Structure 1
Amino acid sequence: MANLSSSYYFITSLILLSLFLLIRLLPGWLGFNAEVPDFTFSVLLLAVIILPLGLLLGLGFSWGTRFFLNDHNADVPRLANRAYLVETFGFFIASLAFNFWLVSFNAFALTLLSLIFSLFIGSLFIITNQNKIFKTAWLVLSLTVIGLGFYFLALSPAYEIKTANWRFPQETLIASRNSTWGNIAVTQRQNQFNFYEQGWLVSLARDFAASEELVHLPLLSQEAPKKILIIGNGLSGALLETLKYEQAAIYYAEPDPEFLPTVYDYLNAQTQKQLTSDRVNLINQDAIAYLKNSQEKFDFILLNLGQPTTYQINRFYTKQFFQLLNQRLTRDGVTAFSLPYHQENLANLFTNQYLTAIYQPFNETLKNNLLVAGQKLIFIGLKNDNFTYQASLAAEKFKDRNLATNFLSAEYVKYALTNERAKKLLQNFKNTRTSSNADLQPIAVIRQIINNTEIAQPLLSRLLNWILNFRWLLFAVLAILPLPLLYFVKKSSGQRPETKIKLIALGASSLSLVWEIIVIFIWQFTLGHIYKEISLIIALVMLGIFLANLQLYLKPVNKTRALKIYLLLSLILAMALFIFIAKADSLSQNFIKIILWLLAFIAGFLSGAIYPLANALYLEKKSVPQDETGRIYGLELIGGAVILIIFSLFLLPCCGLAMLTVYLIYWLGLLNFLIAIPRLPLPH
């Protein structure tokens, strides 16, 4: 047993190191120079990472139970649950350690720490081996690798840069930092510095045309703006252009408050001067949190974040955010943002569906709005319902301001406000059917993926579009899928009653992963910064699982009755979640945090009680339960994998959180129905 355990930890260290190298090397090998890989590659890479980790978990639990069974021959279900108790406690401690300590470590250092820890635990097992030669050789090898690990750990900042640079084969990585939002990277190519947030390039090259259009065209509705708020990427020209309004105070917020301090030393002198101007006020917090908590009102709010490529950025293109913008505008205030569009193909279906998903909530909130089809499609919304743009007057006003622009001119202003492309696009939006983008239904993210993959992966683009357009059919298919399983259980229950408990274990014990997914995404949709919070959410789930298992371990209960109660409580919790989602828009951010923390813990507790009960019921009637201890755990992992695919890749992006929760309620309802059927007895 000692050899088996030490081998497991040795294999674990090798797999962790291999996955780290694979994640760093593979994108560059496949030609993704610094940019985020496409949707297909990302899904495949996720599968490559999750499969070996799932294998490790399954093998680790199976071997762990046998470790306890080596010393005890009685009460196999109880001892198997003891192994689960130890595992969940370890997950809880590791999650806390990451949240409060390891989150500040770089990826290279975290990998080395994991490798060192695995080899150390493996060495503890090998000490009990009776073969002195094998034991000595193993310990020498382990201590050598551990020593090298500590050596490289001391040099981890340098090696983090070297290995992370593999993602940038045509650039040189200068700095890399993990913030509460994700990774910030600074690269250099010849004399130019490039900045990346979460793998996405932040454009800092002066785009005169786009910046001048986005700032000056909306401000033609203003006589003399006093307060201007820039949200995101002010360094690409927006900050410089707004500073041309000498009477205006500029407020500048990045989605990641740690971005500007990280990149400041690599900015040119002119940009640094702009940031340190007495008229520029840097907002070092999430822009949405700032707008909700501040009573400041602005004459102009410029949203300059680019496309909603992530769920965090999507929060800035929803009806909830546009309503917040409207509240923070002065009586004659104006807001604007821009998105790319097909200038040569205005009738492109996927582009129109994507843009319409954002335009609909924008139009519902700011009814006096204007589209300007320039270098990008500019959305301009006005608080004053009586103001109208008159092209000739706007051109004269622009000329009188003498703003020293490089691209924009009075003639171009008149052309931009009168060209037919905007009218054509507006007509397309009115004729296009799609759901509106919302915080808890981030339809724009999946529409953006469909639009951007149309040329490179047309089949994938059409498939995703079909799923999105017929999501109710998708929901119906997923609702029908469990029914054949129920029929199979009914047919086989007489000869094999354990089939029922297997299905319950498959469907219910994997629910901890479902709850984690739901809590993480609600947090991301409503609060934004999730990178650091994921570990705390997982810690709370694991704490709930651990305490539920501990309670059942210390105090024996009627397993069938307890399983029915916990399944019913899970169903009630899912219904409460649906009500919470319906009311989330009206709740404060602090209250949402508290609710999500409680939800994570309670969901973990209920899920943590279901697994040991299902496992005990299954093992009690097995003739050789020692050989079956990992069966229910394996079903839990399989159920978790299926749930991850169904919920994360299909239901969530296509249907939104509300429909996902409805499916969860339906699934729990089936499980409650299954366990309540008297003709399908449990195996005891």
Structure 2
Amino acid sequence: MEKKLIFSLFLLGISSIFAQSLLIRELMISFYGNEFFVGAVLAFWLIWVAVGSLSAGKISNKFKNQVLLFFSQILFSFFLFFEILLIRYLKGQFFGLEIPNLIHSFLGASLIPFPICFLLGFWWTIATKIFSEVKKEISSVNFAYFLECLGFIFGGILFSFVLVKFNPFLVANFLIFLNLINVELFIFPERKFLFWKILIFVLLFASFSLFFIPLLKNLEKVSAGFWFKNQKLVETKNTLYGDIQVTKIDSQYNFFENGVYLGSEKDFEFAEKFSHLSLVLHSNPEKVLLIGGGMSGFLREILKHPVEKIYYLELDPKLIEILKKFLSQELKSSLFNEKVKIINLDGIYFLKNTNEKFDLILVNLPSPSTALINRFYTKEFFQIVKGKLKENGIFAIYLPYSPSAPNKNLENLCASVFKTLNEVFKKVIVLPEDEVFFFASNSENLSYNAEIFSKRFEERKIQANFLTKDYINFRFKSERIEKALEIFEKNKTSKENQIFHPVSYFWQTLFWLDVFSKKFSNFFKSFSFSFLPIFILVLVLLTVYLTKKKNNQINSLFSVAVSGFSLMGFETILIFAYQVIVGYLYFRISLLISSFMLGMTFGVYLGNKKIKKEKIKISDLLKPHFFLLCFSLFSIPALIFLFKSSSLKFAEIFLFLLSILAGFFGGMVFPLANQIYLSFEKEISQKTGVIYGADLIGSSLGALISPLILIPVYGVFSNLILIFVLNFWLLFILLQKPGQ
């Protein structure tokens, strides 16, 4: 039986990473989630896994464990398949292309993963209970944890390099197939389970058949079509960078990525206003760089000016292929004009490594609602841009604005970007309407001189539908300019936006919360700014409690919880760092998580090796927590160095190495703490889920607090210092002499 369980535990790791990668991706698309949302999903994910783990411990004595293991594996596999379908159906039924409100997003993040996570936790506890009953050793739980980590690593590599390109229903069906084989061969090999064997064989045959018929491919297109009410989905393509969808209304094609609207071939008004107002500011814009959003007429409008070369940056080459297929002939001719050079690179990476200098750099991206997009609104990015502009070069960027209906958080967002631009450039002007256009330069020639700009517009004989000479005069002479400047300059709340302290990202999130619940937005803001005093108070109270108790079994639980918090903090920080340094995450997230698990596997292995050699004492936990403490400080200069590095490949490899190290130091804690905790118990098999639950609770807090509060409000480096303080505190607790 021991050998038969090994594959089940290994498959648990594979199932976990597949489910996590697929569901988080689907939930982010359906609920327009950012890193805050991912943090909430991961937190609830870990909480529900802990609930499942503890629940299994309560009922495992009432039923045959072999049957419980069978049901947990099979139900998990089928739930994953149908939950993907359910998520898409719910989005189409209740939201369509509208942004779900706060309550819907919270319910989606917390409740939808529940069945999957509960069954994963249940599966773990039942499998380890059977394993420990067979082995009758405390270390059997540690070995089971080791096997799960191995499965996690293998699954992450397989998903990242192979399965990420396939539609999610195919991947989910592959998981069903693997679990059915495991149950058929290892869980119910005996003939007395004839009924179950026949049922499983039928299900296996059905699952295998799905690989060879077009049902899954059709299901992918039909379910993606749920999102687009009153629109015809004409194409959907899963790429390394996201899910691209093309819809059609009458004769108009609309383009989406991960459910987010990119633009349409007939969405010209904004393209005209932003591009022409930017270009008339420059006396001779020969060389232009456009970052993002070339499908809505931007290239066509830029080409109306006397430009010699346009560099158009679009990260995903598959998007260009799709644009070529569906754009009108007029826009297609602009996209593939001889003056246009399409470059499939990340904007920051390109600017760091190019020797070109530009007359005009336009950023046509959404507001900073994610860490990935926020990079283009930071001081560090503006400094890179400054170095790539010619002597009279101009930089243009925009944000949403509402001069007629002021919103404090929106004003803070715009003020943070305005202050950041002023830190870098000598001259910054603003044009506020429904969007506020920011123009920045090191040249004193940048001004609000409407007469000169109107004259240039006429001299260049620009033909436009929405932009006129009178409109240019209106924008550059508007009374709203002076009012907006006063609001931005006098703002004392907002600070400059930095790559590792993304305050604009925070204000954008609060602005989004305002739309649905002003009270909750104010509460979240107050709690975020009060977090550090609350954290200190909790540590003081815990110190008093634990120093009085002096109980090594309780201390071992806190050791695992602190380790879990630290690991999830590191994981969140390194995922964030990967986004801001490398520039994309979509097809790397499972590999990045697997790097943590690889480190954890080595840590668990060394911990198990130590357990076999000697009796484990509470003092053995000091070393791994000291390593975590040191690693948190080392990460600060390491991240600064990596951002400044011009080698993307080097930065990517180094981030994976940091992930492995973080996992290694944290992984050493679990087997040692588990050995100490279970040494106080007579019935080992009854308590295998407790230490696992403590690990998951600590991890869930780290997953929730780091992205929601610590990174945006206090910054990445403050988050690392807090992890340092937490591990230093635990060292103090562990050094207390235990009571009798």
TM-score after normalising by structure 1 = 0.93
> What code does the residue aligned with 1:481 have?
V
- The letter of the residue matching 1:265 is K
Answer with 473-482 or 271-280: which moved more: 473-482
Distance 1:659 1:107, change over 3 A: same
In 2: Cα distance, 1:329 partner to 1:364 partner: 16
Partner of 1:72: 135
**Counterpart for residue 243 of structure 1:** 303
* Higher deviation after alignment, 237-246 or 179-188: 179-188
CA distance in 2, matches of 1:586, 1:207: 37
Contact 1:39 1:449 in 2 (8 A): no
Partner of 1:414: 473
For residue 284 of structure 1, what is the aligned residue in structure 2? 344
Corresponding residue to 1:498 among 526, 530, 553: 553
- Tell me the distance in 1 between the aligned counterparts of 2:245 and 2:124: 38
Q: How far off is 1:207 after superposition? A: 4.5
* Equivalent position to 1:633, from 679, 686, 692: 692
Query: What SS does the aligned partner of 1:236 have?
Result: coil
Displacement of 1:448 in angstroms is 1.6
The one of 414, 425, 430 equivalent to 1:371 is 430
- Greater alpha carbon shift after TM alignment, 35-44 vs 430-439: 35-44
Matched, 1:544 2:592: no
Q: Is the 8 A contact 2:299 2:334 kept in 1?
A: yes
Inter-CA distance 486–151: structure 2 relative to 1 (3 Å threshold):
farther
- The amino acid across from 2:291 in the alignment is I
Alignment of 1:341 with 2:396, yes or no, is no
Aligned CA distance change for structure 1 residues 216 and 279 (closer, same or farther; 3 Å): same
Shift of 1:393: 2.5
Matched, 1:522 2:583: no
Residue 480 (structure 1) aligned to one of 527, 532, 537: 537
Alignment correspondent of 1:670: 729
Residue 230 of structure 1 deviates from its aligned partner by: 0.8
Which residue number in structure 2 is paired with residue 427 of structure 1?
486
Distance (Å, rounded) in 1 between the aligned partners of 2:539 and 2:231: 50
Does the CA contact (< 8 Å) of 1:297 and 1:330 recur in 2?
yes
Question: Compared with structure 1, are the counterparts of its residues 209 and 626 closer, same or farther at alpha carbon in structure 2 (3 Å cutoff)?
Answer: closer
Shift of 1:325: 1.0
Quick one: which of 600, 622, 627 aligns to 1:564? 622
Asked if structure 2 preserves the Cα contact closer than 8 Å seen for 1:509 and 1:608, the reply is no
CA contact (8 A) 1:335 1:381 kept: yes
8 Å contact from structure 1 (residues 372, 417) kept in 2? yes
The one-letter code matched in structure 2 to 1:570 is: L
Instruction: Evaluate the alpha carbon distance shift between residue 34 and residue 217 of structure 1 in structure 2; reply closer, same or farther with a 3 A threshold.
Output: closer
Which residue identity lines up with residue 530 of structure 1 in the other structure? L
Shift of 1:130: 4.7
The 5-angstrom pairing of residues 114-153 of structure 1 reads 114-151=175-212
Question: 1:49 and 1:478, CA in 2 relative to 1: closer, same or farther beyond 3 A?
Answer: farther
Does the 8 Å CA contact 1:116/1:149 hold for their aligned counterparts? Answer: no
Deviation at 1:558, TM superposition (A): 5.1
Equivalent of 2:282 in 222, 231, 245 = 222
Q: Distance in 2 between matches of 1:178 and 1:558?
A: 52
| Higher mean C-alpha deviation, range 293-302 or range 160-169 | 160-169
- RMSD between aligned residues: 2.2
Residues 139 and 352 (structure 1 numbering): CA distance in 2 closer, same or farther, change over 3 Å?
closer
In the other structure, the counterpart of 2:22 is none
- For the pair 1:88 / 2:136, whether they are aligned, the reply is no
Alignment CA distance shift 1:276-1:657 (3 Å): same
User: Given that residues 402 and 433 in structure 2 are in contact (C-alpha distance below 8 angstroms), is that contact kept between their aligned partners in structure 1?
Assistant: no
Amino acid at match of 1:28: G
Q: CA deviation at 1:510?
A: 4.9
CA gap 1:146/1:209 in 2 versus in 1, 3 angstroms: closer
- The CA distance in 1 between the partners of 2:477 and 2:576, in whole Å, is 42
Aligned pairs for 1:217-366 within 5 A: 217-345=277-405, 347-366=406-425
Cα 1:292/1:658, change in 2 over 3 Å = same
The residue aligned with 2:96 is: 33
Residue 593 of structure 1 is matched in structure 2 by 652
Per-residue Cα deviation, 1:440-480 (whole angstroms, up to 9, x for no partner): 12222221232234243222232334345xx2x21221232
1:356 to partner: Cα distance: 0.7
**How many pairs align?**
671
Question: Alpha-carbon deviation of 1:336?
Answer: 0.9
Q: 1:425 to 1:670 in 2, by over 3 A?
A: same
Partner residue, 2:124: 61
From the superposition, tell whether residues 327 and 680 of structure 1 become closer, same or farther in structure 2 (CA, over 3 Å): farther
Say if 2:315 and 2:346, in contact at 8 Å, map to a contact too: yes
Partner of 1:184: 244
Post-superposition Cα deviations, 1:342-399, rounded to whole Å, max 9, x if no partner, equal 1313x43222111111111112112212112345321111231354342223222222
SS in 2 for 1:250: strand
Greater CA deviation, 662-671 or 292-301? 662-671
CA-CA distance at 1:174 after TM superposition = 2.2
- Shift of the 386–392 alpha-carbon distance from structure 1 to 2, 3 Å rule, reads closer
Cα distance change of structure 1 residues 43 and 375 upon mapping to structure 2, 3 Å threshold: closer
Contact 1:182/1:531 (<8 A) preserved: yes
**Unaligned runs of at least 5 residues, structure 2:** 1-64
Matched-pair contact (CA < 8 Å) for 1:229–1:301: yes
Q: Distance in 2 between matches of 1:618 and 1:679?
A: 14
State whether residues 265 and 331 of structure 2, in contact with CA within 8 Å, keep that contact through their aligned partners in structure 1.
no
Does the CA-based 8 Å contact 2:596-2:664 persist in structure 1?
yes
Shift of 1:242: 0.7
Instruction: Name 1:442's counterpart in structure 2.
Output: 502
Contact preservation (8 Å) 1:92, 1:543? yes
**Displacement of 1:255:** 4.2
The residue number in structure 2 matching 1:381 is 440
Residues 1:485 and 1:29: Cα distance change in structure 2 (over 3 Å) = farther
Which residue of 190, 193, 202 corresponds with 2:253?
A: 193
Task: Please give the alpha-carbon distance, in whole angstroms, between the structure 2 residues aligned to 1:140 and 1:585.
Answer: 53
Cα deviation digits, residues 102-125 of structure 1 (max 9, x gap)? 111111211211222222212223
In structure 1, C-alpha distance between the alignment counterparts of 2:99 and 2:322, rounded to whole Å: 20
The secondary structure found in structure 2 opposite 1:194 is strand
Contact 2:184 2:197 in 1 (8 A): no
Shift of 1:310: 1.7
Contact 1:231 1:305 in 2 (8 A): yes
Q: Distance in 2 between matches of 1:117 and 1:285?
A: 37
Give the direction of change, closer, same or farther, for the CA distance of 1:178–1:482 in structure 2 (3 Å limit): farther
Q: Verify: 1:112 aligned to 2:173, yes or no.
A: yes
1:436 aligns to what SS in structure 2? coil
Residues 1:307 and 1:565: Cα distance change in structure 2 (over 3 Å) = same
Structure 2 CA distance for partners of 1:43 and 1:577, relative to 1, 3 Å = farther
Partner of 2:87: 23
Cα distance in 2 for partners of 1:61, 1:260 equals: 45
On the 8 A contact 2:235/2:247 being kept in 1, the answer is yes
**Distance of 1:502 and 1:72 partners within structure 2:** 24
Q: Which of 1 and 2 has higher RCO (CA within 8 Å, sep 6+)? A: 2
| Change in 2 beyond 3 A, CA 1:146/1:157 | closer
Q: Distance in 2 between matches of 1:313 and 1:63?
A: 43
TM-score, length-scaled by structure 2: 0.86
Identity of aligned residues (%): 28
* Contact preservation (8 Å) 2:297, 2:331: no
SS at structure 1 position matched to 2:170: helix
> Is 1:621 the equivalent of 2:663?
no
